[in-house]
A = this chain, B = another copy of it.
Amino acid sequence: MGKLPNIPDIVIGRLPIYLRALAHMIQGGKEYTSSHELGERLGISSAQIRKDLSHFGEFGKQGTGYNLAYLYEQIRHILHVDQQWPVAIVGMGDLGHALANYRGFETRGFRVSCLFDNDVKIIGDSVAGMEILPIDVMHDVIQQQGVRVAMVAVPADQAQFVANQLAQAGVKAILNYAPITLAVPVGVRVQYIDPVAHLQHMTYYLET
């Protein structure tokens, strides 16, 4: 299992951005790109792109740059998204609905495979062709389906409880939409999406 040693996490975080831009270029019919072109597009230096990629191998050719399809496949493989990960969604309010119906997962390595909520008024409802299940059965369903990735879209005061349940069921990656920092066991990763935090980051630079 050729595990690569100690790549900086900040580099890993940029790979999805590269992947996204490569997909875009491929869709535009291009066949090759260069670190310069890619960097220009993303507002990143070409040196950084070459350095980042060099952690994983040699993907380009002097003089001509990178074959888009090849580099795309390589990064997909590195990120383990040359497969489809089943994903659970917990919390089927407006946001959960939006995520369940979002068409952008399939092509990028994920497939929503189960939906959970604890509101009896919506349990049993069908969303995106799936039935909303009660939290009680979450542990069993997640284990049955081998789910290791989940998105949490419940109110802030329930997010830690849900995260505990998910970790216990074997989930190793949590995308948390609740605006709180979660405590999770070692081996479980959390990424946060808090639109307000992003907005606040920008208003700092705005004159009142």
A204 contacts B94, CB within 8 Å?
Answer: no
A104 contacts B181, CB within 8 Å?
Answer: no
B197 contacts A195, CB within 8 Å?
Answer: no
A200 contacts B15, CB within 8 Å?
Answer: yes
A12 contacts B201, CB within 8 Å?
Answer: yes
**Partner pick for A98 among B43, B83, B98, B189, CB 8 A cutoff:** B98
Which chain B positions have C-beta within 8 A of A179?
20, 104
Given A196-B110, A206-B80, A201 and B98 contact (CB-CB distance below 8 Å)? no
Q: How many copies does the complex hold?
A: 2
Within 8 A of B (CB), among A98-121: 98-99, 101-102, 104-105, 108-110
Question: Measured between C-beta atoms, what is the minimum distance from A193 to chain B in Å?
Answer: 6
A130 at the interface (CB under 8 A from B): no
Q: Which residue of B lies closest to A95 (CB)?
A: B98
Given A15-B200, A95-B98, A105-B196, A206 and B21 contact (CB-CB distance below 8 Å)? no
Q: Which residue of B lies closest to A80 (CB)?
A: B203
